[in-house]
Amino acid sequence: MNRLVAMVWVVAGSGLILLAGCAGYQLGPTNGLTAGSRSIQVNPFVNKTPEPRLIEPTTSALRKRLQQDGTYRLATQNDGDIIVRGIITRFERFGLSFQSNDVLTAQDYTLVMTAEITATERISGKTNLNQLVTGGTTIRIGSDLASAERQAVPLMANDLARKVTSLLVEGTW
Give the whole-angstrom CA distance, residue 41 versus residue 63: 9
Give the whole-angstrom CA distance, residue 65 versus residue 52: 22
pTM as predicted: 0.77
Q: What's the full length of the chain, in residues?
A: 173
pLDDT in tens, 64-108: 999 999 889 999 888 889 999 999 999 998 887 777 787 677 778
CA dihedral 67→73→74→76, nearest 10 degrees, is 150
Quote the percentage of the chain above a pLDDT of 70: 88
- Within 8 A by CB and 6+ apart from 86, the residues are 42, 43, 45, 46, 58, 59, 62, 115, 116, 117, 118, 164
CB 105 within 8 A of CB 65: no
The pLDDT of residue 27: 47
Give φ, ψ of 76 to 5 degrees. -115, 0
Least Cα distance to 80 among 28, 43, 32 occurs for: 43
Q: For the chain, what are the domain ranges?
A: 35-169
Least Cα distance to 149 among 164, 133, 158, 137 occurs for: 137
CB 83 within 8 A of CB 126: no
pLDDT in tens, 46-75: 999 999 999 999 999 999 999 999 889 999
- At the topology level, CATH places domain 35-169 in Double Stranded RNA Binding Domain (3.30.160)
